[in-house]
Amino acid sequence: MKIGIIGTGGIAKTAHIPQYIAAGADVVAVMNRTRERGEAVAKQFGIERVYETVEEMLAEETLDAVSICTPNALHKQQVIAALEAGCHVLCEKPPAISAYEANEMLEAARRAERTLHYGFHYRHRSDTQLLKRMIEAGELGHIYAATALALRRRGIPGWGVFTNKELQGGGALLDIGVHMLDLALYLMDYPKPVDVVGHVGQYLGTRPGVGLMGDWDADAFSVEDTARAMVTFDNGASLFLDASFMANVDAADTMRVELRGTNGGASLFPLVIHTEEHGALFDKTPAHLALEDPYARQIHTFLEACRQEPSYQQAEQAVTLHTIIDRIYAQA
């Protein structure tokens, strides 16, 4: 498989490129708008060619697949360009910045008959996959309630454009809330949302303070630091979401999903199954679980999918995900 990388920043260097190489794929080209940074990454990984525009790379190369690792507001146009050039696409999260964009990306994948996957690596954790298998085997029964938490005490990223509304489309909700929202929906088999009550706000990000993920420019902070929502679904289930870049809470970083089913409940992370059996209440944890790097598994799953019939399920789910997110932002 010949692979091209669009955007050679943090996630491309630490996850996509090394995992493609580890999987035996051939990363032949990178594109970065700053040539020197593209060249430095190409040199680091022994990649032959560097481009400054997506158009140039797609015209010059014959690629099987492309990873999109750029700021969120660029995903849609780059994904569609890559699909139209005949490539399968793995695009980083969040898929887009609106349901309208996510739908255009889905339609482009269908037209091109190419697979479109998104970088929700929490899905690929070994504990998530174990829980998914248990849910599919009926261990939890009907999941009627979920909680998705993505809370950082002082965790505004001090690099990149994470605080720029124009380039990222949003803050805590689109950057970290989206991970746990997607994970809960994935485990619930993506039920159809019927109602969303949401709230987003800027409370702490616009004033300087302690930065556990580097220093950020409080004057240029144009995204929400807090997002909270309640979603109800057509199968009778409900989900509560709480996401924050900065919150006065005890833990530095909480990424957590809780599920309540009619036969049992589950908490991630770590994985605990809560049941009632033989007149007693149990909390069950795996005594042994082979751990796999979720980014490795994500790349492996994507490469496998590229060899099969095109799959649109993740692209369809992205439209549902962004429909919920749009409705939360609409109530800001």
Ligand X SMILES: NC(=O)c1ccc[n+]([C@@H]2O[C@H](COP(=O)([O-])OP(=O)(O)OC[C@H]3O[C@@H](n4cnc5c(N)ncnc54)[C@H](O)[C@@H]3O)[C@@H](O)[C@H]2O)c1
Q: Tokens in use for 231? A: 């979603």
Q: Is the CB of residue 122 less than 8 Å from the CB of residue 255?
A: yes
Q: How far is the CB of 7 from ligand X (least distance, A)?
A: 4
Q: How far is the CB of 36 from ligand X (least distance, A)?
A: 10
Residue with smaller CB distance to ligand X, 3 or 11 = 11
Kindly state the smallest distance separating residue 93's Cβ from ligand X, in Å: 5
Residue closer to ligand X by CB (options 69, 271) is 69
User: Based on CB atoms, which residue is closest to ligand X, 80 or 273?
Assistant: 80
3-state class (DSSP) for residue 284: strand
Measured from the CB atom, is 160 or 286 closer to ligand X? 160
Of the pair 211, 286, the CB lying nearest ligand X is at 211
Instruction: State the residue for tokens 């409900």.
Output: 238
CB of 108 to ligand X, least distance (A): 18
d(CA 243, CA 206): 17
CB of 268 to ligand X, least distance (A): 16
Q: Which residues of the chain form contacts with ligand X (CB under 6 A)?
A: 7-12, 32-34, 37, 69-72, 74, 92-93, 119, 121, 160, 175
| Between 60 and 166, CB nearer to ligand X | 166
Nearer to ligand X, 149 or 273 (CB): 149
Tell me which H or E stretch contains 179.
helix 178-187
Give the nearer residue to ligand X in terms of CB position, either 177 or 265: 177
- In whole angstroms, the minimum distance from the beta carbon of 33 to ligand X comes to 4
Cα–Cα–Cα angle for 296, 305, 321, rounded to 5 degrees: 80
Query: In 120-154, which positions are buried (b, 16+ CB within 10 angstroms) versus exposed (e)?
Result: bbbbbbbbbebbeebbeeebbeebbebbbbbbbbb
Q: Which two tokens stand for residue 248?
A: 């006065």
- Write down the least CB distance from residue 229 to ligand X, Å: 19
Contact at 8 Å (CB) between 52 and 33?
Answer: yes
Minimal distance, residue 125 CB to ligand X, in Å = 12
Cα(226)–Cα(178) distance, integer angstroms = 13
The answer to whether 267 and 256 are in contact (CB under 8 A) is yes
- Tell me if residue 4 falls in helix, strand or coil: strand
Residue nearest to ligand X (CB): 9
Which helix (H) or strand (E) segment is 273 a member of?
A: strand 272-277
**Residue 318 token pair:** 């992205």
